Structure 1
Amino acid sequence: MSELLRLENVWAGYGDAVILEDISLSLAAGDSLALLGRNGMGKTTLLATLMGAARLRRGRILYEGADIAQVPSHRRAQAGLGWVPQERDIFRSLTVEENLTVVALPGEWTLARVYEMFPRLRERRLNLGNQLSGGEQQMLAMGRALMLNPKILLLDEPLEGLAPKIAQELLAIIDRMVKAGRMAVILVEQHARQILPITRQALVLERGRSVYAGDSAGLLREGSPLDGWLGVGAAADGALA
């Protein structure tokens, strides 16, 4: 697989605050990465840095071989970086269908295909964003990102706060997208043992620094270091089961 994204010795944060220190990673087209760590360790900041929403202080971000450090966020989205933030940020005063079509870019992800992936959105297509449940809002946020036809999909804790049944449904959808290999996926999630089996690579952050960068299967086999890095959350990782 050809390299799609590379971070070289990235330092980043907000204002004068440095959150990430010396982060490097490489992601190929169609690849998948589990981004792990306890709360406050820099996971969301890493996604925000990729999207241009956090300040890059040092290092390089190469996307398809080009340095995108000075490229604004909306241009990065147009170039193929799709972001589903924790807050979801759907348009609450627009219908489901309007949410999806207002951002659409040409490509294989069409309205029909998003509805096929998320049948519930088809059923709710005339509902306003503020009339949806939390799970439906998450599906809409993911569907809207897919309508941009991204080459990389950034998912920031997509299962957070959802009922177990809905979380499992979304996890299965993410698994299908990863296995299809048509776009790369970076997945931030507290339930490490739920996402390590469906991703190829893993990066664990501790106080803004990388403490593990390697294959997901190896990290899953090691067990004890993962528990230490993630604290009690790892030990209780059957929460979605």
Structure 2
Amino acid sequence: MSEMLAFDQVVAGYGSAVVLHGLSFSLAQGQSLAVLGRNGVGKTTLLETLMGNTRVMRGAVRWCGEDLGRWPSYRRVRAGLGWVPQEREVFPSLTVEENLTVVARPGPWHLRRVYEFFPRLRERRGNYGNQLSGGEQQMLSIGRALMTNPKLLLLDEPMEGLAPIIVEELARSIRRLCESEGLPSIVVEQHPVLALEMTHQAIVLERGTVVHAGSSAALAGNARLLEGFLGVGAAEAHIHNNTGASNDSNDLDDRLA
């Protein structure tokens, strides 16, 4: 597979503060990536750097073979980066439909298709952004990113603060985007086993650099690494692997019924 994205010895941060210390990894075309690590290790900064919101002091970020360099954020969106920020950042004074259409760009994702993907958004299309639940706002934030017709979806803590049943529903949607819809993603997530179930590859960060890289399946099955890098106990991993989000969507449908 050809390379879609690469960080090459990237040193980046905010002002004079360095957060990423020589960060290097690559992502192949068609693959999805889990970015894992404890709090404060640079996971969100990785995404912010990809979107042009940090100061890059050294190294290069390549997107489809091009050095992003000093590209402004809007050019990165036009190039195919779809951003779902941790704070969701829906427009509170716009309706659901206005939130979606205001960012629309030509491509396979359009209003009807987003409504088919997230039926709740169709039901609430006339509601304002500040009238939605947390889960609905997250669906709207993802739907808005899809309306830009991205080549890669960037998800920063998409499950934060949501009820378990909504977490499972969103996890199924993200897996469907990658596996059925052919849209790769980078997922920063505090629920590591859940993130591993949604992705092909995984990296673990410590102090702004990669300390582990490999397949998501291999990391999910390695209790020693999960405990050592992420503090995930064997019992938690076992629960996720046996009762968490499944590759068979019918299992989740049964639990949501």
TM-score over 0.5 for the pair = yes
Q: CA RMSD in A?
A: 1.6
The alignment covers a number of residue pairs equal to 241
Structure-2 residue corresponding to 1:111: 111
Maintained 8 Å contact 1:31/1:185: yes
Structure-2 residue corresponding to 1:180: 180
One-letter identity of the residue aligned with 2:53: A
Q: Distance in 2 between matches of 1:63 and 1:18?
A: 22
Q: Deviations over 1:100-132 (max 9, x none)?
A: 000000000010110011000000000000000
Task: Give the CA deviation at 1:194.
Answer: 1.3
Structure-1 residue corresponding to 2:54: 54
Change in CA separation of 1:20 and 1:168 when aligned onto 2, cut-off 3 Å: same
Change in CA separation of 1:18 and 1:104 when aligned onto 2, cut-off 3 Å: same
Q: Distance in 2 between matches of 1:85 and 1:59?
A: 24
- Per mean C-alpha deviation after superposition, the further-off stretch among 189-198 and 50-59 is 189-198
Maintained 8 Å contact 2:223/2:234: no
**SS state of the match for residue 104, structure 2?**
coil
**SS state of the match for residue 90, structure 1?**
coil
Structure-1 residue corresponding to 2:86: 86
Structure 2 gaps of 5+ residues are 245-257
Q: Distance in 2 between matches of 1:65 and 1:231?
A: 36
Q: Distance in 2 between matches of 1:197 and 1:130?
A: 31
Q: Distance in 1 between matches of 2:181 and 2:212?
A: 24
Q: Distance in 2 between matches of 1:207 and 1:229?
A: 12
* Identical columns (%): 61
1:1-241 alignment runs, 5 A limit: 1-180=1-180, 182-231=182-231, 236=236, 238=239, 241=244
Runs of 4+ that moved beyond 6 A = none
Structure 1 gaps of 5+ residues are none
**SS state of the match for residue 145, structure 1?**
helix
Change in CA separation of 1:234 and 1:184 when aligned onto 2, cut-off 3 Å: farther
Q: Distance in 2 between matches of 1:43 and 1:233?
A: 21
Maintained 8 Å contact 1:30/1:183: yes
Q: Deviations over 1:188-209 (max 9, x none)?
A: 1111111212311101001111
Q: Distance in 1 between matches of 2:214 and 2:181?
A: 19
Q: Deviations over 1:74-109 (max 9, x none)?
A: 110111101101000110100000000000000000
One-letter identity of the residue aligned with 2:92: R
Q: Distance in 1 between matches of 2:232 and 2:66?
A: 40
Task: Give the CA deviation at 1:156.
Answer: 0.5
Change in CA separation of 1:123 and 1:73 when aligned onto 2, cut-off 3 Å: same
Maintained 8 Å contact 1:30/1:181: no
- Per mean C-alpha deviation after superposition, the further-off stretch among 177-186 and 31-40 is 177-186
Change in CA separation of 1:201 and 1:98 when aligned onto 2, cut-off 3 Å: same
One-letter identity of the residue aligned with 1:73: S
Task: Give the CA deviation at 1:233.
Answer: 7.8
Change in CA separation of 1:205 and 1:114 when aligned onto 2, cut-off 3 Å: same
Q: Distance in 2 between matches of 1:16 and 1:233?
A: 37
Q: Distance in 1 between matches of 2:70 and 2:196?
A: 33
**SS state of the match for residue 221, structure 2?**
helix
Task: Give the CA deviation at 1:232.
Answer: 5.3
Change in CA separation of 1:203 and 1:234 when aligned onto 2, cut-off 3 Å: farther
Q: Distance in 2 between matches of 1:147 and 1:234?
A: 39
**SS state of the match for residue 99, structure 1?**
helix
Change in CA separation of 1:233 and 1:93 when aligned onto 2, cut-off 3 Å: farther
Maintained 8 Å contact 1:83/1:154: yes
Q: Distance in 1 between matches of 2:81 and 2:42?
A: 19
